[in-house]
Homo-oligomer: A and B are copies of this chain.
Amino acid sequence: MKDTITRATVLVEALPYIQKFFNKVIVVKYGGNSMINDTLKKAVMKDIVLLTLVGIKVVLVHGGGPEISSMLKAMGKESVFIDGLRYTDEVTAEVAGMVLAGKVNKNLVSLIHQNNGKAIGLCGLDGGMIQVEKLKGEVDLGFVGDIKKVEVSPITMALDNGFIPIIASIGADKNGQIYNINADTAAVAIASALRAEKLISMTDIRGLMMDTNDEDSLISRIHIDDVPELIEKGIISGGMIPKIQSCVDGIRCGIKEAVIIDGRIEHAILIELFSDEGIGTLLYQ
């Protein structure tokens, strides 16, 4: 009995957080360990079904690098890297599309249904959702897409009909050529187009820290105007620079706030949303 009372208390304490996000759109960029480890994966699915039931509109965006690599390997295809970044030739683009939209995506749809949720798996090609051109950077990375337009109608159709939209980060250009898209970039573009209340980016780090070796030095909140200084100081560095930068751009384009959370913690999404302090590093304007 004591246990059930504690349980009730916890539920009641969640009340103000539920009220805060009621009927709001939250985009979750799903990736890293939380997508590999089975326990974490199940916890994420449960979190998302729960959020849906309490009236929060969750959109899941995912990539799936490791699965692509493993399929390429199974097909005996050599991966090519330029300056540490994968070069996406035509075959790789096609395999990436197939693996993300046909395997990773549908597997997530299936998991949602096993938790009694309702999901629809889509990719950037469905309903012409993500329209890209070839990304033009210093280095030619092949068929990597630069998002030109996001058509939200397939996503809002799913949300309005009570389905959780799960979106694989691939797109196509005007000629129907398939492109791989960075999942962070796709999530930011989708969240901007939906004018999301929050973008939750699941990573494998604790968050941004003043001192990488000291978990207690976690920075809870950063105003987006302070980002350049933090980059200069080296506190934001390496792979976090483009990730943070795309969040900043997204916030400037309509996302209300973005948070980087540690996907290695079970139920990290719920903890982030249902506590005052949150669990990761929040970017706000």
Contacts and interface: CB of A to CB of B under 8 A. Distances in A.
A271 B8 contact: yes
Contacts of A125: 106, 109-110, 113, 121
A234 interface: no
Given A8-B266, A126-B119, A103 B113 contact: no
Contact of A103 (B102, B110, B163): B102
A11 interface: yes
Interface in A134-182: 153-154, 157-158, 161, 163, 172, 175-176, 178
* Chain A contact residues: helix, strand, loop or mixed: helix
Contacts of A115: 15
Nearest to A6: B10
Nearest to A54: B54
Nearest to A278: B4
A85 interface: no
Contact of A19 (B4, B55, B102, B116): B116
A127 B158 CA distance: 10
A12 B43 contact: yes
Given A14-B50, A127-B163, 10 more contacts: A4-B279, A7-B14, A8-B270, A99-B102, A109-B125, A110-B176, A120-B154, A121-B122, A157-B157, A157-B161
Q: Which 9 A-B pairs have the closest CB atoms?
A: A102-B102, A8-B267, A98-B102, A8-B270, A10-B10, A98-B103, A101-B102, A110-B176, A12-B46
